[in-house]
Amino acid sequence: MNATRLLAINEFVDGLRNRWVAACILLLGSMALTLLLVGSAPSGSTGAGALAISVVSLASLSVYLLPLIALMLSFDALVGEFERGTMLLLLTYPVSRWQVIMGKFFGHLMILTAAITIGYGGAALITVFTTDSGTVGWQAYLTMMASSLLLGAVFIALGYLVSVIVRERSTAAGAAVVLWLLFVVLYDLGLLGILLADHEQQISQALFSFLMLASPTDTYRILNLTAFDTVSQAAGIAGVAAKQGFSLPLLLSLLVGWIILPLLATIGLFHRREL
Amino acid sequence: MNAIELSNVSKRYEQKTVVKNVQLKVRTGERMVMIGHNGAGKTTLMKLMLGLTRPSEGQVQVLGVDPAVSTSSKRQTLGYVPESVAFHGAMKGREVLAFYAGLKKVPAAHYNDILARVGLKDAADRRVSTYSKGMRQRLGLAQAMLGDPQLLFLDEPTSGLDPSLRRQFYELIDSLSRSGTTSLISSHSLNEVEARADRIAILKNGVLLACGTMPELLEQTGLPIYVQLKTAAAAVNSVAEKMGWAGEVHKLDERNLEIRCRVSGKMELVRRIAALGDSVEDMNIVPPRLDEIYNHYMENVQPQ
């Protein structure tokens, strides 16, 4: 079996063994089901189904939760193995360093895929089959699931970057928390602060849009709140951002870029690292 | 042919030089043992040979290639037991070995056989977290044996093993050696390895002080050997007198004496003892052990 695939399967089985997969499915599933059932109650007269409505609330929660889960999976992926001494042994085997990173990445991605597919997907199926909310907005819901996976992958990759730079697990844990705060909370607060301070409206909407797109979490938000009409009706900021012409392919490629760049940086640093 | 060749290899970490100008050749099929104090550079040398770190100066060749850029096929032929061998505690012994066997593309039948050879067959389906240190060490050796490696690197492999497991361990190494496997072992158990090593390399502060077989090292150090004689009744004084030329003679009791002599005078001494006829009833030659040779180098030879 190819080394990358073997490492990925090993990482996924490890996730199954230490209950990571089960915990993630349970967490995402219960959250999605709650929001879907709440969403299905008032949807009758608005024309928007529970799936479409819940995309707004689920995306808003996922933006906090998925980066956190992804960082927790990835922050000690490398530094933990350096500390335990298992990396030393692994690298004497016929496996390249890029294969180690990509194997871990695909393994962790499989954990997130299982959690999102079973958690979010399962909750949607339960809602569709047990309530009369219908399937309106299923494309938006599927896009939300796919982009959630991409958002998780972004933070897995960022977690690896932290993991390859620092020398101790405890430092990696601290750095992961800072990374989460920065991208999920502080960046948006900063943008909000700039808006409030900009009385003269010197910052153009184009520049502001660019600043929003510079953050993977905002890219994810914009993607889910504006990509589909059924959803944007229910989302507050939808109309504003939609006018900027952020196409779905652009937003998706931005997220993919946020995955590839940290991964490449991690592989580069890992190659230079001496054990 | 040499399995390992180090030419003027130095390794520096920031300001600290941990390996200085080491020249070393390990022949194919040889059992080479590296000894030295903690921090002498043994583990760094192994890492250099495994390509885990690159030399600051000099060249490292393992099986004819630079290990830092060696291909997968070359690493297929290496086995390594790290100093502190660690495995995922939640995995079972068999799962650990299956994982590493997968990386080397070794079939299941082969690794099941290895589990039996290292004595872990019955514990194979237990979690590694329940293993004793000796069992983990044996699992470490098992993974190193996967794929019949041509070259084995064993960093303190017997620490944590009880005497009978140590013996079994060296028997395994001997059988691998007979089938042509080259092994490089670092150890602190000097007297344990002296009979097992074809050659011994002595390191101090990153410098290779000496490398050779036990007789070669003994000759280089000039350490004395001890010849113990049991004499016939009432002959002890006359024998002591006749042996005085060879070196210091100590009378141990009324029948036994010990002569401290140079290695180069050993054969002449034996001839003269034989000439004494019935005056000498028994004799015993005690050469210096490896720990004495090691101490001699540590105390009397300064790294350049």
For the stretch A5-37, pLDDT in tens is 999 999 999 999 888 889 999 999 998 888 888
Among B63-77, B113-127, B172-186, B225-239, which stretch is predicted with the lowest mean pLDDT? B63-77
Question: Which B residues, 86 through 105, put their C-beta within 8 Å of a C-beta on chain A?
Answer: 86-88, 90-91, 99-100, 102-105
Lowest mean pLDDT among A24-28, B86-90, B139-143, B181-185: B86-90
Decide if B82 and A89 are in contact by the 8 Å CB cutoff.
Answer: yes
Phi, psi of B41 (to 5 degrees): 110, 10
Query: Nearest-CA neighbor of B115 among B149, B139, B89?
Result: B139
> Cα separation of A90 and B90, whole Å?
17
User: Is B201 strand, coil or helix?
Assistant: strand
**Residue A238 pLDDT class (50, 70, 90 cuts):** very low
Q: To the nearest whole percent, how much of chain B has pLDDT over 70?
A: 99
DSSP label at residue B233: T
Residues of the domain holding B256: 224-287
Q: In sequence order, what DSSP letters do the residues of chain A get, joined into one string? A: --HHHHHHHHHHHHHHHTTHHHHHHHHHHHHHHHHHHHHHSS-TTTS--HHHHHHHHHHHHHHHHHHHHHHHHHTTTTHHHHHHTHHHHHTTSS--HHHHHHHHHHHHHHHHHHIIIIIIIHHHHHHHHHSS--STTHHHHHHHHHHHHHHHHHHHHHHHHHHHH-SSHHHHHHHHHHHHIIIIIIHHHHHHHHHHH-TT--S-HHHHHHHHHTSHHHHHHHHHHHS-HHHHTT-SSHHHHHTTT--HHHHHHHHHHHHHHHHHHHHHHHHH---
B261 belongs to a structural domain: yes
Q: Is B228 a domain residue?
A: yes
Q: Is residue B101 domain-resident?
A: no
Please report whether residue B114 resides in a domain: no
The answer to whether residue A83 neighbours chain B at the CB level (below 8 Å) is no
Closest CA to A189 of A218, A152, A155, A151: A218
CA separation (Å) from A256 to A56, A180, A253, B62? Answer: 22, 18, 5, 41
- Alpha-carbon dihedral sign for residues B154, B159, B161, B164: positive
Name the residue type at position B228: Q
Q: How far apart are CA B60 and CA B48, in angstroms?
A: 7
B98 in any annotated domain? no
CB nearest A93 (choices: B47, B75, B87): B75
pLDDT confidence bin for A42, thresholds 50/70/90: low
Note whether residue B244 is domain-resident.
Answer: yes
Q: In angstroms, rounded to a whole number, what is the distance separating the alpha carbons of residues B229 and B167? A: 32
**Cα-Cα-Cα-Cα dihedral sign, residues B142, B146, B150, B152:** negative
ipTM of predicted assembly, 2 dp: 0.86
- Mean per-residue pLDDT for B35-60? 92
For residue range B100-143, what is the model confidence (pLDDT) as tens digits? 999 999 888 888 889 988 888 899 999 999 998 888 888 999 99
Shortest CA distance from A100: residue in chain B: B103
Q: Which of A84, A88, A94 comes nearest B76 by C-beta?
A: A94
B262 is a domain residue: yes
- Does the beta-carbon distance from B90 to A17 stay under 8 Å? yes
Whether A85 and B90 lie within 8 Å, measured CB to CB = no
Residue A230: predicted pLDDT: 61
Provide the chain B residues 8-37 that lie in CB contact (below 8 A) with chain A: none
* Contact list, A6 vs chain B (CB under 8 Å): 99, 102-103
Give the residue-averaged pLDDT of A31-55: 71
Residue B249, in any domain of the structure: yes
Say how many C-beta atoms besides its own lie within 10 A of residue A193's C-beta.
10
Determine contact: A213 vs chain B, CB below 8 A.
no
User: Which residue of chain B comes nearest to A90, CA vs CA?
Assistant: B100
Nearest to A86 among B50, B86, B103 (CB): B86
Cα B166 to Cα B174: distance, rounded to the nearest angstrom: 12
At A145, the amino acid letter reads: M
The most distant pair of C-alpha atoms in chain B lies apart, rounded to whole Å, by: 73
- The answer to whether residue A44 scores a pLDDT higher than 60 is no
- What is the domain-level CATH number for residue B243? 3.30.70.920
Q: How many domains does chain B have?
A: 1
CA B225/CA B284 separation, integer angstroms: 11
Residue A6 touches chain B, beta carbons under 8 Å: yes
pLDDT at residue A245, as a whole number? 66
